[in-house]
Amino acid sequence: MIDILYSGYSYTHKEGIRFDTESGHAGFECWLLVFSHSPVYFPSEEGMKLCPPETVILFPQNTHKFYFSPTGEPYTNDWIHFKTDENIILDFPLKGVPFQPSDTDYIHNLIKLISWETQINKDPSSPVISDLFHALISKLSADVTVSTDSPYRGQLVALRKEIILHPEKNWTVAMMSDNLSISPAHLQLLYKNTFGISCMNDVIKARIKLAQDKLLYSTDTISAVGEQCGYRNTEHFCRQFRKFTGLSPRQYRITALTKNNREINNYEETGT
């Protein structure tokens, strides 16, 4: 069970913060997850360390919790104070040591959802809170244990999200590498090692997926669909679509619509 004691997100301390919870003080006996959006001094193996914005630390229960921001500077963070006996927390691979998550928006939004939910539902056994918290810890655990050696991991994740959300953009390796301020060859190596696919194949994969959706759920022409998915040449779009799906765009649309209509008719006749 995970018992959220109190939590918050995107709170700015205008004069900075100095948090210090020793034995015998409130907060010592619980866990504390902090996601800092400002520079902050967190404890590390070498002592107190100035960490950059978007840094996470998980303080275990029954330990000294101490961190502070640079003097006189505003400080913004998210936090969760909680108690638990679950192994997913007890076995977290990096306790009391700061690290940077790969997908900062994902982590921030999960903490926001957890905070909202705990304001509505105070029940520690709530399955919604449990599921959200498990998703949060699982994502952070993966960030700690997988591909943390690359200083570009967060930027690569952000780049991939943008590719998936907007495959229609005029993506080139040169443009992507310029955004990360690294060479095209270095980008391609990092991207392939991180995601198991080349950056341009990821673009094509995202474009074909978008095209499949548009062919099924719109009545736009084949050339219009290709243009909406980032193809300036209809022949190139059709050739690439067939290579990845085994069908031409027109064949895919007819096949998919026929299958959908058959499933709808079957449901209307049998109710299953």
Coil, helix or strand for 155? helix
For the entire predicted model, the pTM comes to 0.66
| pLDDT tens for each residue of 8-30 | 999 999 999 999 998 777 788 99
Q: Identify the residue whose tokens are 């064949």.
A: 251
Structure tokens at 28: 């010592």
Q: Which residue would you say has higher pLDDT here, 50 or 122?
A: 50
The one-character DSSP state at 99 is B
How many angstroms separate the CA atoms of 44 and 57, rounded? 10
| pLDDT tens for each residue of 211-251 | 999 999 999 999 999 999 999 999 999 999 999 999 999 99
Listed ranges 39-48, 189-198, 201-210; the one with the highest mean pLDDT: 201-210
For range 108-128, the mean pLDDT: 88
> What is the set of domains in the chain, with CATH numbers?
2-145 (2.60.120.280), 153-259 (1.10.10.60)
Among 107, 198, 201, CA closest to 154: 107
Residue 268 has pLDDT above 80, yes or no: no
pLDDT of residue 263: 58
| % the chain with pLDDT above 70 | 93
Taking a C-beta distance cutoff of 8 angstroms, is the pair 241, 249 a contact? yes
How many angstroms separate the CA atoms of 63 and 65, rounded? 6
Q: How many other CB atoms are found less than 10 A from the CB of residue 244?
A: 15
Taking a C-beta distance cutoff of 8 angstroms, is the pair 61, 55 a contact? no
- Sheet harboring 55-59: ordered strands across? 2-13, 75-84, 31-36, 55-59
